[in-house]
Amino acid sequence: MQKSADRQIAYVALGSNLGDRHSTVLSALQELADIPCTRLRKASRLYETEPIGPAGQNHYINAVAELETCLSPAELLTHMQQIEYSFGRVRRKRWGARTLDLDIVLMGDGIIYTSTLTLPHPRFRERGFVLVPLAEIAPDAVDPVTGYTVADLLEALDSGCSVIESEAATI
């Protein structure tokens, strides 16, 4: 494991719309906290939201976690993919139903474009189900591409967020 000289703050979006969605997201938060060289600093409430993509999917449970880590973005992604796999994640089709989806939304002021990782997440600015919980825990976090805060991005979002309910995440 290659450790960065500095610890960075990473914001990770969590989502589930198969199985016991609440338990999956809460358990995944604990798994994120158990990643080596990583500490879970905060977690948003859990939000039930309407799915995007193919019709007929269950509603999602979404949340955002704030992690402090000395891992590189690629190393953090590898650990997150292992967590997804341990929850039965199978990558079949884009925007399809999933037991667990974990995405790095922002990591420090990093801007990365590789074949396996793009930071900031390329679509987070358009997704209320990411911006609402992210604004709850980090309204002043800055998108390094646009220079806007998360609160500014949420305010500018025209589609809003189809939040059906929210509840505290207790881990």
Query: Is-contact 40 89, C-beta < 8 A?
Result: no
Helix axes 21-33, 73-86, angle to 10 degrees: 140
- Point out the catalytic residue in the list 89, 125, 127, 143: 89
Residue 98 falls in the annotated catalytic set: yes
| Sequence-ordered alpha helix ranges (H) in the chain | 21-33, 73-86, 128-137, 150-156
> Is 125 tagged catalytic?
no
| Active-site annotation holder among 45, 103, 127, 143 | 103
Cis peptide before 120 (omega within 30 of 0): yes
Helix (H, G, I), strand (E, B) or coil at 29: helix
DSSP class of residue 57 equals P
The answer to whether 66 and 42 have CB atoms below 8 angstroms apart is: yes
Question: 104, 107, 167: which is closest to 136 by C-alpha?
Answer: 167
Known catalytic membership, residue 21: no
Of residues 93, 107, 79, the one with CA closest to residue 12:
107
Question: Is 94 known to be catalytic?
Answer: no
CA distance linking residue 29 with residue 88, whole number of Å:
16
Residue tagged active-site, from 7, 45, 92, 98: 98
Annotated catalytic residue, options 101, 125, 127, 143: 101
Catalytic positions are 89, 98, 101, 103
